[in-house]
Structure formats: C-alpha cells, structure tokens
C-alpha cells in the first residue's frame, strides 16, 4: 500500500459494492427463509457479513470513506443489540486501524514537507506507523531535544479521495441509512463535506491544537499535547500514552468507565467557554485516559468556532424542557427558527418529543446506556410514532448543526462507555442559559 487509491471510478465501484452487497445478502436471506432456515440466524448472518464488508471497503479506501466510517462508529450504540454486535466490532476497528502507506511514500512526504534534511530534526524515527486512520498515519519518534513525539503524515492523494468519496457516499445515503438504523446519514455527510477543507491542511489543525493546549495548560482534568512542528501535510506533536477509550468500552472497569465519561462531558461542555472552540470529531479513537487520571485529547482537524461559547438558547431550551414549560419552550423555538412561524405544531407535542432527551439533567447523576439511546432512536425514528412526525416538523438552524452533531456523537460515546456521569452539574457549570 503506497497511496490512497485515487481514481474516482475505482473508488466509486468499491463504495457501490457496499449497498449492492447488502442488497444481495437481503435476497439471499429471503431464499434461506423460503427453505426453512431460522429468521434470527439469517439476520445475524446478514449483519455479520455486512459489517465485515463495511470495514474491509471503508478501511481500504481511507479518505472520505474512512472518515465516514469513523463518524458512524459512535452511532452503533443506537443500533438494536441483536444487530449491533458485528457493526460494533467492525466500526471500532475504523477508529484506529487502516492499511499503512509504504516506507518510500513516508520518506517522500517528509522530504516534501519538512525538507530533505528532516532526519536531523529527529534523534530517532520509527518508519513503521503506530496508528493509521482516515487521511493520515502516525509514527512514533524522538525529537532532536529528546522529547518523544507523534508524527502525523497525510496520505498521498488523500485530498482527491476525500472529495470524491463524499460525493459518492451522498448518492448512497438512503441505502446506508437502511444498513445502520439510528444514524443520521445525510446530515452527517453534509457536515463532513463542510469540514473537509480544514482537515486537509495540518497547519490549521496545528493552530487549533495550540489553542486547546494553551487553554488547558496545567489543567487537573484535561491534557492536550503540545504542537512541536507543522506543515500542510505533516504535524509533529508531543507523544501521549494512555488507555484508549475503545479499550475502556470493550473491557474497562466501572471506575474507568465513569471517570472517562465524566471527563469527556467536562471537556465537551467547557471547551467553548475556555477556548472559543468545540472539538468536532467525537469518536473513541481521539480520547485516552492517562495513568494520572486525566483525559488526553488528540486530532483537532475539525472544530466548531464558538467565540462566545455555547449558545445561550440551548441552555434555555434545556431548562424549559426539563421543567415542562411547554408554552415558553414553544415560544423560544419559534423565535430562534427551530419552528417555522406558520407551523401547526402543538406545544405539548414538542415537549413530548424533547422531554426525554433532557433525562441526563433530571437527576444528580445519570447512567448513559445503549438501551437508553436505543429507546430514543426508536421513539423518534418510528414512522408510526407521533414523535417522528413532530421531529420532521422541527427545523435545525444551520449555525446549530455542528453543535448538534458533536453533542450527539459525545452522547453516543458516553453510552458506549456505559458511564454514570454527573451531567446536570457539568451542564450547570458550562452551559449558558441553563441556570442564569
């Protein structure tokens, strides 16, 4: 493997194989049922084969395909348990795993980005990557001053692949939706398209990371590695070594799960106030629990710029929904464009739709579980339910889209962690409008 596969036709054929393969397995499943095989066995076989193909294709292509797969990984908590296990295993691999590029490609990229004398900047450099993800891979090295560092190198051709993939994936969004119920596919793809230019220039990511590192310098709860050097396609940061969230999700202790969840909630809600930015790539591969009990965060390519912090309107909405003040909630939603002025929605229907989403703030601590998230997905995703009709009538203004997606992603991780978190206190401390 030397480069990301670049040819659009080649990538389109591979991406098309996902929904076509799923359609073929559906047809085969009907055949098996007609011959008397158990329906549950057929469904389990379908899920396992689809998940296996999903990982193989998205992982091989990298680029936007891989980025899409990583973003999907946080939504597996909303998928019913009888379907989720194969997807859980396949999508978790996409958080940290991909085929690496060749050593010659690594050296060529470093020559181009850091100069032909780049070797002199390192005391040691391991040419075998320690991690490989959507648009780049990470190498462990020692900087010339003795610091252990992580060197992130962008795949040759990643920019072309990212743009091509996201265009093609949008064409297949409905079919992907049927493969992964509980995930909002089309809005997710639109949001990935909007952020891709920023993620392709590592200088922008380096600036974002410097801002976070400065704001959290010396913090007792959150650690952000410092940037050592950067160029458009190579970034060098301090090395961190902790327990990945994916490992905690799979076999962490109750103490680890609750600690990881508490820190993630604190980081998510406090960052806009402290940095003016919101980390916008919430998947378990970007978070680790350090031996000293702090959260460490990596990958700042995607951020939401919130110079005034989280919108006060969100805090007011949470408070009104929490206190069942349906008429005031409806008035606020109309004034801030969440409900069209000519809409015939009733206040009590909106309250019934939003009320369960604020459950985490109703008690001193809240246990985030997959079953709770599955209930919410079922409630608002069932075509026959009144909540589904209410949701279709609500509007999410463009300036809230990214905040919504990131909060949903963070909630998905909390449910994967099965964490008990003092969410109400965190929201009270950091969400404007919730208390004042």
3-state DSSP of 10-74 = HHHHHHHHHHHHHHHHHHHHHHHHHCCCCHHHHHHHHHHHHHHHHHHHHHHHCHHHHHHHHHHHH
pTM over 0.75: yes
Mean pLDDT of 126-153: 91
Joined together, the tokens standing for residue 402 give 């990214």
Report the chain's mean pLDDT, rounded to a whole number: 80
Q: Is the pLDDT of residue 24 over 80?
A: no
Dist CA 106 CA 101 (whole Å): 7
What architecture is domain 98-159+172-239? 2-Layer Sandwich (3.30)
- pLDDT value for 405: 83
- The pLDDT-based confidence of 11 (bands split at 50, 70, 90) is very low
Joined together, the tokens standing for residue 359 give 């459950």
Dist CA 357 CA 339 (whole Å): 18
- pLDDT value for 25: 35
Mean pLDDT of 20-29: 37
* Domain spans of the chain, in order of start: 40-97, 98-159+172-239, 241-435
Per residue in 314-368, pLDDT tens? 999 999 999 999 999 999 999 998 887 677 889 999 999 999 999 999 999 999 9
- pLDDT value for 53: 54
DSSP string covering 111-174: HHHH-TTGGGGEEEE-SS-SEE-SSEEEEEEEETTS-EEEEEEEPTTHHHHHHHHHHHHHHTHH
Dist CA 155 CA 152 (whole Å): 10
The angle subtended at Cα 292 by Cα 263 and Cα 281, nearest 5°, is 35
Closest CA to 282 of 195, 416, 407: 407
DSSP string covering 179-218: HSTT--HHHHHHHHHHHHHHHH-HHHHHHHHHHHHHHTTT
Per residue in 191-211, pLDDT tens? 666 666 677 889 999 999 999
Q: Is the pLDDT of residue 32 over 50?
A: no
- The pLDDT-based confidence of 432 (bands split at 50, 70, 90) is very high
Q: Is the pLDDT of residue 30 over 50?
A: no
Closest CA to 158 of 252, 62, 222, 237: 62
Q: Is the pLDDT of residue 65 over 70?
A: no
Coil/strand/helix, residue 225: coil
Joined together, the tokens standing for residue 362 give 């109703």
Per residue in 358-414, pLDDT tens? 999 999 999 999 999 989 888 887 778 888 888 888 887 778 878 988 998 899 999
Closest CA to 21 of 41, 59, 47, 39: 47
Per residue in 209-260, pLDDT tens? 999 999 999 999 999 999 999 999 999 999 999 999 999 999 999 999 999 9
């Amino acid at each position: 493997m030397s480069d990301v596969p670049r040819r659009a036709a080649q990538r389109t054929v591979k991406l098309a194989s996902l929904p076509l393969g799923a359609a073929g397995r559906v047809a085969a499943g009907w055949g098996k049922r007609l011959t008397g095989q158990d329906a549950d066995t057929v469904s389990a076989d379908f899920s396992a084969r689809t998940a296996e193909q999903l990982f193989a294709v998205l992982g091989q292509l990298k680029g936007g395909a891989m980025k899409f797969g990583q973003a999907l990984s946080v939504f597996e908590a909303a998928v019913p348990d009888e379907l989720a296990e194969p997807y859980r295993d396949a999508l978790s691999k996409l958080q940290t795993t991909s085929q690496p590029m060749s050593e010659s490609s690594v050296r060529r990229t470093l020559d181009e980005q850091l100069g032909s004398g780049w070797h002199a900047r390192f005391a040691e450099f391991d040419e075998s990557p320690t991690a490989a993800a959507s648009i780049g891979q990470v190498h462990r090295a020692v900087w010339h001053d003795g610091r252990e560092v992580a060197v992130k190198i962008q795949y040759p051709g990643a920019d072309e692949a990212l743009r091509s993939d996201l265009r093609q994936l949008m064409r297949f969004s409905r079919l992907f939706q049927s493969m992964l119920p509980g995930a909002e596919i089309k809005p997710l793809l639109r949001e990935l398209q909007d952020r891709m230019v920023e993620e392709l220039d590592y200088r922008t990511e380096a600036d974002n990371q410097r801002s976070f590192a400065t704001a959290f310098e010396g913090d007792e709860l959150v650690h952000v590695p410092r940037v050592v050097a950067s160029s458009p396609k190579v970034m060098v940061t301090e090395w961190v070594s902790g327990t990945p969230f994916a490992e905690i999700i799979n076999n962490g202790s109750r103490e680890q799960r609750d600690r990881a969840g508490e820190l993630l909630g604190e980081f998510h809600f406090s960052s806009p106030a402290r940095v003016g930015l919101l980390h916008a790539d919430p998947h378990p591969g970007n978070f680790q629990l350090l031996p000293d009990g702090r959260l460490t965060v990596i990958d700042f390519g995607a951020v939401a710029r919130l110079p005034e912090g989280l919108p006060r309107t969100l805090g007011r909405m949470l408070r009104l929904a929490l206190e069942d003040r349906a008429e005031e909630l409806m008035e606020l939603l109309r004034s801030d464009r969440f409900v069209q002025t000519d809409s015939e929605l009733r206040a009590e229907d909106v309250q019934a739709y939003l009320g369960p989403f604020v459950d985490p703030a109703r008690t001193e601590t809240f246990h985030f579980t997959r079953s709770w998230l599955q209930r919410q997905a079922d409630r608002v995703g069932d075509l026959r339910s009144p909540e589904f009709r209410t949701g279709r009538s609500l509007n999410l203004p463009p300036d809230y889209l990214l905040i919504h997606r990131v909060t949903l992603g963070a909630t998905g991780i909390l449910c994967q962690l099965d964490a008990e978190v003092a969410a109400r206190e965190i929201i009270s401390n950091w969400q404007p409008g919730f208390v004042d």
